[in-house]
Amino acid sequence: MSAATSYRTTPEPTSKMPSGIPPIIGNEAAERFSFYGMRGILFDFMTLHLMAGGVLAAMSDGEATSWYHAFITAVYFTPLLGAILADRWLGKYTTIMLLSIVYCAGHLALALDTSRVGLFTGLALIAFGSGGIKGCVSAHVGDQFSSQNQHLLPRVYQMFYFAINLGSTLAFLIIPRVLNHHGPHLAFGIPGILMAVATFIFWLGRRNYAHIPARGPAYWGETFSPENLAAVGRMALLFIFVALFWALFDQCGSRWVLQGKHLDQILLGIKITPAQMQAANPIMVMLFLPLCAFVIYPAISRAFPLTPLRKIGIGFFLAVISFLIPAWLEHRIADGATPSIAWQILAYVFITMAEVMISPTLLEFSYTQAAKSGKSLMLGVNMASVALGNAFTALVNIFGASQLTGASYYLFFSGCMLAAAVLFIPFAVKFRERLILQDSNP
């Protein structure tokens, strides 16, 4: 592939964004449409449209919940494999291009075969393709910067996160409707087309990127050096705390969708399906990102310094509240009421504000805390925290399904998050932050 193989040594002017950023942002928006378009209908597909031998063979709600979170676990575990592939053998650019093709093949399998064979083949390919590029793309963003323009990093990661949510908003609004009106073949096919577009956009920027070459056989010694292992070790407990947040957050696509089927879905005279309600999250992200950057964060900073860890800690407490609302809704449903689906919007306010404070902050923080030769590894471990959280959710649904029903299910997760938020406070106080970029002194 015709791409430069060395890192740019002349830094960009401090007021100018690196030229490789626009195609990365465009790629991310299209790729996130493809992923969330597929993910947004996955639970409904498994419970309403799955076929076997030409006849309907849908999963139960419990089985679908377990498989849904097992898939998310796989998606967020494979960034570790992608990081090794990129940093040892191929480099980030080539790894992203090749795994994007695998990703497209996964969408094709889902679009062509609505049986369990097509489902599990497609999900396996998407988990490896999507997951494999996640840490690489996030690290590739940071690689475009030097000490001369490092002050632009927070803004770029916010732009990156905005692109993620723009793509997912459109996907959540469009693809569930396509599934309901045209069936799973087209509903899975459209995300596949968008993934092909994402791959093309990324390829267009190949001459503009700053490239960190693969390190070859030296990778193992460098990556798993005492310095890198110490850096990951310093962050490990933080990632465990964050994993519990993801255990709550990703249930927006499973348990919250299931609960929505028992709510009054008419909102302002328009029927909003539970799958479409997921669009509330990315829409709010796009509103809350500038609100936080220009209003909330400056206001808090006037009272006390708002460090990355303090942002994350506040997000944990907001997540606790987000699960108390569906717990209350389950209590109402058990009493025979049919509450409005609008109540889920309030729950999305809290979970989304928590996400805005945690996720983009953690992306930047993970990159800057990692040693220079271990940034993909660190971001891969960051992604693995999402896998750990979803694995926890899947296990709870497998082994605790009979004990945790109705409101008690949501109260259990809210209580776990509260315990983690309280324990996080002494950890954050003792943690010492640092700043390491690619052109930093050793």
Residue 441: per-residue pLDDT: 52
Apex CA 119: angle with CA 113 and CA 121, to 5°? Answer: 95
Answer for the pair 384, 232: CB distance below 8 angstroms, yes or no: no
Gap between the Cα atoms of 317 and 420, Å rounded: 9
Sign of the alpha-carbon torsion through 256, 261, 267, 271: positive
Gap between the Cα atoms of 221 and 18, Å rounded: 31
pLDDT tier at 406, thresholds 50, 70, 90: very high
Q: pLDDT: is 218 or 49 the higher one?
A: 49
Query: What's this model's pTM, rounded to 2 decimal places?
Result: 0.87
Gap between the Cα atoms of 214 and 407, Å rounded: 50
pLDDT tier at 185, thresholds 50, 70, 90: very high
Gap between the Cα atoms of 193 and 196, Å rounded: 5
Tokens of 171: 């996907």
Gap between the Cα atoms of 251 and 68, Å rounded: 9
Domains detected in the chain: 23-430 (1.20.1250.20)
Maximum mean pLDDT: which of 87-91, 227-231, 244-248: 244-248
Least confident of 186-195, 370-379, 393-402, 422-431: 370-379
Q: Which of 139, 181, 134, 169 is nearest to 157 (CA)?
A: 139
Gap between the Cα atoms of 263 and 94, Å rounded: 47
Residue 170: per-residue pLDDT: 96
Q: Which of 58, 177, 29 is nearest to 119 (CA)?
A: 58
Q: Which of 232, 253, 211 is nearest to 384 (CA)?
A: 232
